[in-house]
Chains A and B, each alone.
Chain A
């Protein structure tokens, strides 16, 4: 299996080299003696992989919150059979999804379609990220301005700093500048 496909690519020495070997080096498979071999439940494994992949994205309606791939509720089994049957008949994944949505609505899709009512859902994280980055940039720019101006102390501030260094009022040290408070 993977062992046959191993291709040496001159990997950079690094993490997981040993792990990788353990993973990819496999002894040759035993010769399969036909009568003792357990039959796969589904003959077409490639198709089954597709059925599984799609089923994981479809919600079982009668379950609490499970995909039709995970659930063994009767309706989930029926719908899984429908998916398998239709994919086997050569219909595309989109066709199968459309078939189910026409009957059960968007509720069956774990991946909500992009439309007017889901704009906020799909755009929300990006909007939050842009908002967050904007806020961050704004705050940092102002802060760096403060940082620069902080190096130029006024005479009064210098005076206070001197008194602080001399062990003056610690309370004043906690709030170095009241002007900063008002600026935020």
Chain B
């Protein structure tokens, strides 16, 4: 498919990239391209210009601090996360990234692109919420940090505003994590997903059931309490060809229990 005419720039510094995005309302960031290029083929988006982030060393790299804090550059690919020794501090990251699509997509697709596109069926938004990630956003006025809980604002909408870029994602240490999903075929699109992080109590985040990840804090980690906590939020889950609203709400209970169970087993 020939795309609509589009400008292209490949800045070499973060400051240059932010300037280019700020100077042109119609410019969009090009990370791995595994979503936006297909969206452009479908004419669902027609940016005036693509600002290619692949030349920005500031957005690369995965670092583990002595205190266990893990910092992941927004342009880290799924494959880089799967293969990173540092990222193994939180094994769930590699496990989930290895479930996304296929080898070719994992080689190009990035953690930053996954969270910034914020498709409700994406794997990483609920995972970032459950893990209490902090998202660093750069703009003309410098950098600011946003909690994952406040980062996801709506379908395809995040706290990254015009002229801004997500630069890094930081995960605090000291937790055990789990993730479970029901997908269309092995490693396919999620119909319902849940991520859990346990440190005494559990933080569970549900995916695919609302415009943004739904965060819950069950008072304890036993199965019935987790199920009850999911039921109590009264999900109005979307209905589609893959699952009715009621069925999706039921799946939310199932995957929440499985994610918490995996986190508890990881802790032992």
A binds B: no
